[in-house]
Amino acid sequence: MKLGMIGLGRMGGNMARRLIAGGHEVVAYDRDAAAVAALAKDGAEGAASLDELAGKLPSPAIFWVMLPAGKITDSVMREIADVAKPGAIVIDGGNSFWKHDIERSKYLAERDMHFVDVGVSGGVWGLTRGYCMMIGGPKEQVDLLDPLFATLAPGIGTVERTKRSQSAHQWKAEHGYVHCGPAGSGHFTKMIHNGIEYGMMQAYAEGFDILRGRANEELDTSYDLNLSDIAEVWRRGSVISSWLLDLISIALADDQSLSKFSGRVADSGEGRWTIDAAMEESVPVDVLAASLFARYRSRVEESYADQMLSAMRFGFGGHVEMPQ
């Protein structure tokens, strides 16, 4: 398939490269001409403007937007609507707020265009590992886009199959992507995914902080534990093994003190939106709320646990810490 990729940052650029490697044609656009030139070296066709990009796409044109949530995505969506023809499909693969998706879907529908929201998880490792995708939008268009999702997704891989997967025919979820429902449902699901991520990261960070604190000689019993070894052994057969623990092990193998991280932990919005959704639904979310507030506290008084959170965020997404 041929599509336009708009936004060639850490995620967009690597997603385009994975699509190209999978045999798709990508027309690339970014306000940073150097990013377009770099992707052109990897097989993309460059475009100097959205208008030029639109002119290079077949009908129905597919525009995949990978930009920060908020005003910049809103602006680009409207620019696309101005240059695209009826029938075009506009995909938002960033971390947009799900209620904005509903508004964008209506805006594009009034112009005979289709909107698809895709919550994407995979970070900077997605180029080789693949991307987990949660998709919202009309079924006809989502089905049309299936070859793109199949290429981007991790595939079945080595994950143990369930009874359902063994009996289901072409069950997309076990390949790493799922059509969640109408507009907004993809980003809503990804929002909850990220809220859970906050809680998991906080649990790991606090646990390793306790392990490190046992080296205090003022305690009745002290242990100078090798945190790198502990992280490594927990990766193998433990019930708390995960990709996050893999990233912790990598960070600790490099430097157990995590000295390059100050511990001022940023939040990208999804944690806050998750708590808002829980309040709307009257659902108690003690762990998720506490993990969000812990990030706020980290900007006033840092700890080793906060350094661990920063190390994990950098490990999976290349996220930098908040400035002093």
pLDDT digits (tens, 9 = 90+) for 215-241: 999 999 999 999 999 999 999 999 999
> Is a pLDDT exceeding 80 seen at residue 158?
no
Active site annotation includes 190 = yes
Catalytic residue, from 190, 270, 302, 321: name it: 190
Count of beta carbons in the 10 Å neighbourhood of residue 30: 22
Mean pLDDT of 123-128: 90
pLDDT over 90 at 60, yes or no: yes
For the ranges 155-159, 180-184, 214-218, the one whose mean pLDDT is highest: 180-184
Of the listed 41, 85, 163, 197, which one is catalytic?
197
Domain with CATH 3.40.50.720 in the chain: 2-183
What is the H or E stretch that residue 209 is in?
helix 185-213
Q: Is 197 a catalytic residue?
A: yes
Q: How many CB atoms lie within 10 A of CB 115?
A: 26
Domain 189-317, what fold? N-(1-d-carboxylethyl)-l-norvaline Dehydrogenase; domain 2 (1.10.1040)
CATH topology of domain 2-183: Rossmann fold (3.40.50)
Percent of the chain whose predicted confidence (pLDDT) is above 70: 98
Averaged pLDDT, 265-293: 94
Burial class of residue 223 (count of CB atoms within 10 Å of its CB; 0-12, 13-18, 19+): exposed
**Cis ω on the peptide bond leading into residue 60 (within 30° of 0)?**
yes
Q: Where in the chain is the domain with CATH 1.10.1040.10?
A: 189-317
pLDDT in tens, 67-109: 999 999 999 999 999 999 999 999 999 999 999 999 999 999 9
Q: Is 228 or 319 the better-scoring residue by pLDDT?
A: 228
